Chains A and B, each alone.
Chain A
Amino acid sequence: MTIGFDIVVVGAGPAGSLAALTAARAGVTVALIERGPYPGSKNVYGGVLYARILDSVIPDWPERAPIQRWVTRRSTMVLTEHGSVAMDVRGDAWSQEPHNGVTAFRSEFDSWLADEAVDAGATLIPSTTAIGLLYDGGTVVGVRTDRPEGDIGARVVIACDGVNSLLAREAGLYDGFDASNFTLGVKEVIGFDKAEIDKRFGVRGREGVDIETLGGTSGVSGGGFVYTNLESVAVGVVLSLAGLRAAALRPEEILRRFKTHPSIAPLVEGGELLEYSAHLIPEGGLDAMPELVTDGMMVTGDAAGMCLAAGVFLEGVNFAMATGIAAGETAAEAISAGDVSRTGLGGYRRRLDGSFVLPDHRRFQRIPRLLLSERVQERYSRFVVDTATELFTVRNTAPKVGLWRIMGAARRRYGVRWRDVIRDGFTLIRGFK
């Protein structure tokens, strides 16, 4: 026997719970299935969770969401072996409404968001893995789960099944799925007294810090991060899978070395390791995205490659939430109109086009690959750090040397070519202008 719902949402992460919440509020029946024992149990993030998108659906989220700290200090750092250059932004106003980013434990945040979907009328079914799609002709009409007699029929399936996206791939929506579009994040959460964290990071109360680095990853393309929870500090590295496979270095060894960098060590040393974790990140950007819709199904969040890795901007959970809302609205609308074909679900892409989701990805289309390139990772970073270090070194053995000469020497030292700088600079300007 097949039980049936109007909509089955696969995966109770931020995309899935908001798809379920939005659709349930629109009056359709929704099953929200989750393979973990609780929502968030399979999820890892690294840095900041931007939640303003929740204003439209859960306006009082700042009072109710289980957050660790409000991020009031956001730092972007270029690391080389012996130094670093940072842009350190202190948004002290971010500690008050309107807040900006937050830090959180995904087990708490994702569970809270799933509870909101349940309050809206969705049925949460945890500890249940979707093992395949059900078809009627070419139309997706439900999912097969690993429960006995576990087929769940639905008029619309919303695949929010995360970065490995077995459902989107089964539906043939990915045109190639390979290592070059992914990074591997590994993270440690280290316990400290709150007072010690406040002192190390220069914050108080619920103020928090997120530091993101370019480089510092033992020659493997990628970066690292350090962020504060209330009584723990998270530190991790994000490594290009292609680079990692070539380097034959173990990820936790790269993380260990990152933690010993003189710019990082004072922030993270000591304490007690509370949890080690790892997760893939879809950093391929627009070029790596699948088809978002097929007959009877939509794909959201990480499953659709909705992750923005553009240097100073590192976002994913907000894209997941926005795609979830758009998919939930579209599904309810298509069901009431009686057309769940890919044409009937066309409102999903239109909503993403009309929001920040696809425009932001288009704007930064070429940035992820540029930032993971050997030029940026090995040459430009050393050029920038050497230039800044030389500029701030006071020798007084001779009059100061001009910036142009300092830059010229550093440029020659690392084989930075003007034509590359101009070309890459143009790519950056096109993204960030």
Chain B
Amino acid sequence: MIVRHISFEDRMDTVVFDLSPTPHITVDGDACQGCTTKVCVSVCPAGLFVPMNDGGVLFNYEQCFECGACYLVCDGLGAITWHYPTGGFGVAFRRG
């Protein structure tokens, strides 16, 4: 049998999210400009941080696991403001 490789999009499509109308995490682009490591990009298990050509980081709060890894590893002092989503919204694991 061959180990099946699935795309990251297909992987994320297995997870149920109820999208909150307001973002629960905000990222301060100015702080990211000066950050050389941008470890959020590789650490986030949902791949929500994308490095930009201008030195910034593009962040999308949709499909967030609400795990907290991003703010714990962040090198840009205080760049990430982290909260839980509004009650009832966000990720809903069925087989966690």
- Chain A residues proximal to chain B, CB less than 8 Å: 35-38, 40-45, 105-107, 126-129, 131, 145-147, 163-164, 166, 178-179, 182, 184, 186-187, 189, 229, 232, 234, 241, 244-245, 247-252, 256, 259-260, 265, 269-270, 273-280
Q: Are B43 and A251 in contact (CB under 8 A)?
A: yes
What's the least CB distance linking B80 to chain A, in Å? 13
Which residues of A sit under 8 angstroms from B69, Cβ to Cβ?
182, 184, 241, 244, 278, 280
B86 interface residue, CB < 8 Å from A? yes
Q: Are B84 and A275 in contact (CB under 8 A)?
A: no
Q: Are B96 and A40 in contact (CB under 8 A)?
A: yes
B73 interface neighbour in A41, A241, A249, Cβ under 8 Å = A241
- Chain B residues proximal to chain A, CB less than 8 Å: 1-6, 8, 10-12, 14-15, 18, 37, 39, 42-43, 45-47, 65-69, 72-73, 82-88, 90-96
CA distance A249 to B96 in the complex (A): 23
Most buried by A among B42, B68, B95: B95
- Can you give 12 A-B contacts (C-beta < 8 A)? A164-B82, A179-B73, A184-B45, A184-B67, A189-B95, A241-B72, A245-B73, A250-B47, A269-B4, A277-B15, A279-B96, A280-B67
Q: Are B87 and A252 in contact (CB under 8 A)?
A: no
What's the least CB distance linking A148 to chain B, in Å? 11
Q: 6 nearest interchain CB pairs?
A: A127-B88, A278-B45, A44-B96, A128-B87, A129-B87, A41-B92
CA distance A232 to B94 in the complex (A): 13
Excluding A244-B42, A250-B42, 6 further A-B contacts by CB distance (< 8 Å) are A40-B93, A166-B83, A166-B84, A248-B39, A273-B14, A278-B67
Q: Are B73 and A269 in contact (CB under 8 A)?
A: no
Which residues of B sit under 8 angstroms from A276, Cβ to Cβ?
11-12, 14-15
Q: Are B5 and A105 in contact (CB under 8 A)?
A: no
Q: Are A163 and B68 in contact (CB under 8 A)?
A: yes
Q: How many A-B residue pairs have CB under 8 A?
A: 141
What's the least CB distance linking B45 to chain A, in Å? 4
Which residues of B sit under 8 angstroms from A260, Cβ to Cβ?
3
Q: Are A182 and B72 in contact (CB under 8 A)?
A: yes
Q: CB-nearest residue of chain A relative to B72?
A: A179
Q: Are A42 and B68 in contact (CB under 8 A)?
A: no
CA distance A234 to B4 in the complex (A): 16
Q: Are A265 and B93 in contact (CB under 8 A)?
A: no
Given A35-B84, A36-B88, A275-B94: A164 and B14 interface contact (C-beta under 8 Å): no
Q: Are A37 and B18 in contact (CB under 8 A)?
A: yes
CA distance A250 to B39 in the complex (A): 10
Which residues of A sit under 8 angstroms from B46, Cβ to Cβ?
278
Q: Are A232 and B91 in contact (CB under 8 A)?
A: no
Q: Are B88 and A275 in contact (CB under 8 A)?
A: no
What's the least CB distance linking A112 to chain B, in Å? 14
Which residues of A sit under 8 angstroms from B15, Cβ to Cβ?
275-277
Which residues of A sit under 8 angstroms from B94, Cβ to Cβ?
105, 107, 275
Q: Are B93 and A273 in contact (CB under 8 A)?
A: no
Given A37-B18, A164-B68: A275 and B95 interface contact (C-beta under 8 Å): yes
Which residues of B sit under 8 angstroms from A179, Cβ to Cβ?
72-73
Which residues of A sit under 8 angstroms from B91, Cβ to Cβ?
41-42
Which residues of A sit under 8 angstroms from B3, Cβ to Cβ?
259-260, 265, 269
What's the least CB distance linking B54 to chain A, in Å? 21
CA distance A219 to B88 in the complex (A): 38
What's the least CB distance linking B71 to chain A, in Å? 9
What's the least CB distance linking A344 to chain B, in Å? 30
What's the least CB distance linking A160 to chain B, in Å? 14
CA distance A187 to B67 in the complex (A): 13
Which residues of B sit under 8 angstroms from A163, Cβ to Cβ?
68
Q: Are B39 and A44 in contact (CB under 8 A)?
A: no
CA distance A350 to B85 in the complex (A): 35
What's the least CB distance linking A228 to chain B, in Å? 13
What's the least CB distance linking B33 to chain A, in Å? 20
Given A245-B39, A251-B45, A279-B65: A270 and B84 interface contact (C-beta under 8 Å): no
A129 interface neighbour in B10, B18, B84, Cβ under 8 Å = B84
What's the least CB distance linking A42 to chain B, in Å? 6
What's the least CB distance linking A225 to chain B, in Å? 14
CA distance A135 to B49 in the complex (A): 36
Q: CB-nearest residue of chain A relative to B71?
A: A164
Which residues of B sit under 8 angstroms from A35, Cβ to Cβ?
84-85, 87-88
CA distance A35 to B72 in the complex (A): 21
Which residues of A sit under 8 angstroms from B83, Cβ to Cβ?
131, 166
